[in-house]
Amino acid sequence: MKRFFIILTLPLLLISTSTAQPLTDSIKIKQYKKVAQQFVSSALKERKGYDALKNLCRIGPRLSGSRNSLIAINWAKNKLIEMGSDSVWLQPVMVTHWERGDIEQAGIINSKKFNGIRLHISALGGSIGTPPEGIAGRIIEVQNFEELKEKKDSVKGKIVFFNRPLDQSLLNTFRGYGEAVDQRVYGAIEAAKYGAIGVIIRSITTKYDTVPHTGVMHYVDSLPKIPSVAAGYLDANFLSRIIKEDPNLKLNMLLNCKTLPDAKSFNVIGEIKGSGHPEEVIVVGGHIDSWDVGQGAHDDGAGCIQSIEVLDLFKRLHIKPKRTIRCVLFINEENGSRGSKEYSNFAENSGEINLAAVESDRGGFTPKGFNIRTDSSRIIEKVKSWLPILEKAGIDWIRKGGSGADVGRIKNARALFSYVPDNQRYFDLHHSANDVFETIHPRELELGSAAIAILVYLLSEEGL
Amino acid sequence: MKRFFIILTLPLLLISTSTAQPLTDSIKIKQYKKVAQQFVSSALKERKGYDALKNLCRIGPRLSGSRNSLIAINWAKNKLIEMGSDSVWLQPVMVTHWERGDIEQAGIINSKKFNGIRLHISALGGSIGTPPEGIAGRIIEVQNFEELKEKKDSVKGKIVFFNRPLDQSLLNTFRGYGEAVDQRVYGAIEAAKYGAIGVIIRSITTKYDTVPHTGVMHYVDSLPKIPSVAAGYLDANFLSRIIKEDPNLKLNMLLNCKTLPDAKSFNVIGEIKGSGHPEEVIVVGGHIDSWDVGQGAHDDGAGCIQSIEVLDLFKRLHIKPKRTIRCVLFINEENGSRGSKEYSNFAENSGEINLAAVESDRGGFTPKGFNIRTDSSRIIEKVKSWLPILEKAGIDWIRKGGSGADVGRIKNARALFSYVPDNQRYFDLHHSANDVFETIHPRELELGSAAIAILVYLLSEEGL
């Protein structure tokens, strides 16, 4: 099957590349601007996405395998049906199923001065629990894996405290996050190499408060699995200070989180069939799962709602797309990516042409631009020629860059896009109890919907 | 004096125009980028502006003529001295002095169903008060001055309710504000023409809540002066509904606001002398006065702090500017513009060269771009060539456009700039009790300081 479709789609790809011309027709540009303004006006005035996100957030957090995640999946399916999508379906997939449990504590013992003080912590996603009596160990603080290696002879039996903060001096908070997140993801592996019994990390956040930020962490089978938690920013400051004052103090950690057998779940898919080239598919998506703290309002409730609203904007403005527009709400982005693997397998083998995919997973903030991932400089030039139309929703640039964790797996797409909103506030909230609906601004969220809708509309009209 | 200086500066202007070449020297660009990153890193990491704004906001609102405004002026003067400015001075100016008083009420009377219900209102700045017993009248609702004119025969003895909302469908909230604000500024004049006894307007806001938004309004001596207030957005909805249900109801308004004789006040000025061309002055400024509700955190505490921080960034990074950098905190922007008139008079007659002026008065949000006002397309091209450096602070564009209410008066400057941050949230807060420090995001505010500092640095190094 697969080989057959490769042969079939190859000529189409060649045709497409040769027609990837920048948009210069001024009458067309004018018409497109008019439609773009309709998207913007409808989104900003009606605030339907904002209202929908409120309802999604009311369900609560939506970690893969949880009851809430299934409620949210069902809610999104019904939403796509109600708005009159041409078809809506659930794509089954087995997902990671980790549960935090109801106990997570970390407190100071073995210290005259600091005994009994508790830290604000959050178990990292995927962490094992502790024995019922907890674990306790002295703390060794390091900034990075190099320092850990240097101190390897002092690690045994201790809890490793990874304390390197997100670098606030960078304009791009995603870069700061990317440079700090190894501690969270691989900290337990590195620490276990040298005999550590647990890991505590400084939360990877831009906010100076006590709210811990969770996120995925990994183990390898060849090393002992050790429990791992994140401490709030100010708690990390405090911990760093008191272990200097009293190096003999111990941290007592008590967690009853655990990984259960994989659970059945679903990607949520809804689409409007293209009127001219129904076989050419434009995916727009976000991930329906969230961490189990907060409400996943920005990460990635916003992206899901924006993806749903793209379809709804076409419907309520009675715009029939030439190419098929498919909303895909991926499950399990946070701790397994099973949803995106499942969808990309399907997309590779479906016989459809994966024209483009747009991901929104950077929060519901004011639009800045779109990253585009493609090897074709002609496609980039073509998309850049759409900027005067995209500007209607506040899009200032198109840049070559990464797409996103979910759509990035759709390998045979001609171009992959990541919607890039302002990122200054994102890591204040990301993976924490602060990621709630109240932090969503209606105009910011809705402009994102409009910006993505305009891009999808132009992809649908102009192809690639 | 004035003529003399025109003759003196003319040749310099010509020289300058002929040297307004785009920046192409890649070594220079690299060096500038390095300095730009220093500004960004220092601002984001140290958050000194954020801390300073907290202190400024603690003083409370700073309406011209008020005690608070003088405390704030003194605070800012000391701030500029402490950081080591080469000179700091207060420029005296007489300012408008309006006081809200301690009574402002608007309630429904003459209605069985709605009697006694009170609206959330705020007297407009400059409004007269009412007699001690208040005023009461039936309400006539209109959307605009044309409709008012059509209904002119029904206006006499009534309170005119201007109910046209800020158009939420526009990307640019400043445009929506500009299209709605005539009701607030000229409503009392238009209504008085036809014998109205008072005015109530729908708050010009992007937020759907009950918080009223004040702002300046005008009278003319040839017409009766009538009291004018703004109602919260939801209060306006409510009022519009109940007058349809009961057209005989009356609104009772009670205000004891009043205009006092002009008061003595000051612009706050601090500068770092240029090492190469001290006679060429680059102004960076905001306005130190604010409305008397909230704390004027975004409007324009943010702009003042950013202007102060530009000087502080040069000082703490030990960067000696080639041209003089002058921070001007204008008084009385909100209800008289006396401060900017005073400063521009001074600047025109000082014999200095007003190279450029940059205003920050659009809130402390994430940087988007700079508007530039100049007749010289060469200057625009030159400044646009600095974009790769300005991008370090998130500046995406330079556009020809308006400068600002304060620096806009400096007529003989070669170029006037307005710092343009994201504007989606600004009119949620603008002129209301919600404009408080808690709505300031440290990274957003600090990036603004860095963006302006980079522009000022390039102006200082490269001239215009």
**Chain B positions in Cβ-Cβ contact with residue A170 (cut-off 8 Å):** 41, 44
The angle subtended at Cα B350 by Cα B349 and Cα B355, nearest 5°, is 100
The angle subtended at Cα A213 by Cα A212 and Cα A218, nearest 5°, is 125
User: In the prediction, which pLDDT does A19 show?
Assistant: 61
Looking at the partner chain, which of A168, A369, A394 has a beta carbon nearest the beta carbon of B171? A394
**Pair (A338, A391) in one structural domain:** yes
Q: Do B425 and A444 touch (CB under 8 A)?
A: yes
User: In the prediction, which pLDDT does B412 show?
Assistant: 87
**Chain B positions in Cβ-Cβ contact with residue A393 (cut-off 8 Å):** 171
Q: Does A26 touch chain B (CB under 8 A)?
A: no
CA A248 to chain centre: 40
pLDDT tens, chain B, 464 aa long: 333 443 444 444 444 444 679 999 999 999 999 999 999 999 999 999 999 999 999 999 999 999 999 999 999 999 999 999 999 999 999 999 999 999 999 999 999 999 999 999 999 999 999 999 999 999 999 999 999 999 999 999 999 999 999 999 999 999 999 999 999 999 999 999 999 999 999 999 999 999 999 999 999 999 999 999 999 999 999 999 999 999 999 999 999 999 999 999 999 999 999 999 999 999 999 999 999 999 999 999 999 999 999 999 999 999 999 999 999 999 999 999 999 999 999 999 999 999 999 999 999 999 999 999 999 999 999 999 999 999 999 999 999 999 999 999 998 899 999 999 999 999 999 999 999 999 999 999 999 999 999 999 999 999 99
| Cβ(B274)–Cβ(B321) below 8 Å | yes
Confidence of residue A411 (pLDDT cuts 50, 70, 90): confident
**Pair (A207, A69) in one structural domain:** no
pTM: 0.95
**Pair (B352, B444) in one structural domain:** yes
Nearest in space to B342 (alpha carbons), one of B112, B93, B96: B93
The one-letter amino acid at B424: Q
| Cβ(B60)–Cβ(B290) below 8 Å | no
Whether cis (ω within 30° of 0) applies to the bond prior to A300 is yes
Q: Does B46 touch chain A (CB under 8 A)?
A: no
Nearest in space to B342 (alpha carbons), one of B326, B355, B330, B325: B330
The one-letter amino acid at A385: S
Burial class (CB in 10 A: 0-12, 13-18, 19+), A389: buried
Among residues A141, A333, A444, A446, the one annotated as catalytic is: A333
Disruptive mutation site among B33, B168, B440 for chain A (greatest number of A CBs within 10 Å): B168
CA B452 to chain centre: 16
CATH number of domain containing B355: 3.40.630.10
Q: Residue B178 sits in which domain range?
A: 101-256
B333 is catalytic: yes
**Pair (A13, A117) in one structural domain:** no
Disruptive mutation site among A37, A41, A169, A313 for chain B (greatest number of B CBs within 10 Å): A169
**Pair (A252, A280) in one structural domain:** no
**Chain B positions in Cβ-Cβ contact with residue A168 (cut-off 8 Å):** 44-45, 443
Q: Do B394 and A171 touch (CB under 8 A)?
A: yes
The DSSP H or E segment spanning B454 is helix B442-462
From A393, which residue of chain B is nearest by alpha-carbon distance? B171
Q: How many CB atoms lie within 10 A of CB A245?
A: 10
Question: What does pLDDT average to over chain A?
Answer: 95
Rounded CA gap, A377 and A455, in Å? 18
**Pair (B297, B414) in one structural domain:** yes
Residues 6 or more apart whose CB falls under 8 angstroms from that of B416 comprise B356, B357, B358, B359, B372, B373, B374, B403, B404, B407, B408, B410
Q: Indicate the residue among B210, B233, B256 that finishes a domain.
A: B256
Q: Does B217 touch chain A (CB under 8 A)?
A: no
From A39, which residue of chain B is nearest by alpha-carbon distance? B169
**Pair (B396, B429) in one structural domain:** yes
**Pair (B356, B232) in one structural domain:** no
The DSSP H or E segment spanning A266 is strand A258-272
Nearest in space to A58 (alpha carbons), one of A286, A301, A267, A270: A301
Structure tokens at B374: 């100049």
pLDDT over 70 percentage in chain A? 96
| Cβ(B416)–Cβ(B357) below 8 Å | yes
Q: Tokens 């329906």 map to which residue?
A: A288
Residue A383 has pLDDT above 90, yes or no: yes
**Pair (B297, B403) in one structural domain:** yes
**What's chain A's Rg over C-alpha atoms?**
24
Looking at the partner chain, which of A42, A169, A396 has a beta carbon nearest the beta carbon of B40? A169
Rounded CA gap, B320 and B157, in Å? 64
Q: Indicate the residue among A234, A256, A278 that finishes a domain.
A: A256
**Pair (B172, B306) in one structural domain:** no
| Cβ(A301)–Cβ(A445) below 8 Å | no
The DSSP H or E segment spanning A251 is strand A250-255
Q: Does A449 touch chain B (CB under 8 A)?
A: no
Q: How many CB atoms lie within 10 A of CB B335?
A: 25
DSSP-derived letter for residue A436 is S
Across the beta sheet with A159-162, what order do the strands follow?
Answer: A104-109, A250-255, A135-142, A159-162, A198-202, A228-231, A121-123
Rounded CA gap, B131 and B118, in Å? 19
CATH number of domain containing B120: 3.50.30.30
| Cβ(B255)–Cβ(B131) below 8 Å | no
User: In the prediction, which pLDDT does B19 show?
Assistant: 61
Work out whether strand B397-400 and strand B367-373 pair parallel, antiparallel, or are unpaired: parallel
Distance of CA A358 to CAs A20, A306, A323, A405, B23, Å?
Answer: 18, 11, 14, 11, 36
User: In the prediction, which pLDDT does A1 show?
Assistant: 34
Across the beta sheet with B159-162, what order do the strands follow?
Answer: B104-109, B250-255, B135-142, B159-162, B198-202, B228-231, B121-123
Looking at the partner chain, which of A173, A425, A447 has a beta carbon nearest the beta carbon of B424? A447
| Cβ(A247)–Cβ(A55) below 8 Å | no
**Chain A positions in Cβ-Cβ contact with residue B368 (cut-off 8 Å):** 396
Residue A5 has pLDDT above 70, yes or no: no
Across the beta sheet with A323-330, what order do the strands follow?
Answer: A87-99, A258-272, A323-330, A277-287, A353-359, A415-421, A367-373, A397-400
Whats the size of chain B, residue-wise? Answer: 464
Number of domains in chain B: 2
**Pair (A57, A148) in one structural domain:** no
DSSP-derived letter for residue B93 is E
Structure tokens at B230: 């703004």
User: In the prediction, which pLDDT does A412 show?
Assistant: 87
Q: Does B34 touch chain A (CB under 8 A)?
A: no
Looking at the partner chain, which of A41, A425, A443 has a beta carbon nearest the beta carbon of B441? A425
**Pair (A363, A416) in one structural domain:** yes
Q: Indicate the residue among A256, A289, A312 that finishes a domain.
A: A256
From B44, which residue of chain A is nearest by alpha-carbon distance? A169
Q: How many CB atoms lie within 10 A of CB B272?
A: 26
**Chain A positions in Cβ-Cβ contact with residue B174 (cut-off 8 Å):** none
The DSSP H or E segment spanning B283 is strand B277-287
The one-letter amino acid at A85: S
